[in-house]
Amino acid sequence: MGSVVTFSRITGFHQDEEGHWVAELSCGHQQHMRHDPPWQSRPWVLTPAGRQQFIGTEIPCRQCDVAKP
């Protein structure tokens, strides 16, 4: 039986102590959204308009999945 992935909506962003962008999720968790080519290509996270476009977007929340019984 496969595992079910939990999705959560992006509600906002903030920068961590190293200046990396972190998505704030509706479930209360957070997830880094780094633009670090070639591993992660997220150029949209570098501008206020780009981040604003992703408010409300559902993304997988690994922390919710880990917390599942």
pLDDT at site 2: 53
Name every residue whose Cβ is closer than 8 Å to that of residue 3 and which is 6 or more positions away in sequence: 65
Our measurement of the distance from residue 5's CA atom to the centroid of its chain's CA atoms, rounded to an integer in Å, reads: 14
Domain boundaries, the chain: 7-64
Per-residue pLDDT of the chain (69 residues; tens, 9 = 90+): 456 889 999 999 999 999 999 999 999 999 999 888 888 899 999 999 999 999 999 999 989 988 766
Tokens of 22: 């972190």
pLDDT at site 20: 93
Question: What whole-number distance in Å separates Cα of residue 7 and Cα of residue 13?
Answer: 17
pLDDT at site 1: 47
Q: What's the topology of domain 7-64?
A: OB fold (Dihydrolipoamide Acetyltransferase, E2P) (2.40.50)
Kindly report the pTM of this predicted structure: 0.85
**22-60 per-residue burial string, b: 16 or more CB within 10 A, e: under 16:** bbbbeeebbbebbeeeeeeebeebeeeeebeebeeeeee
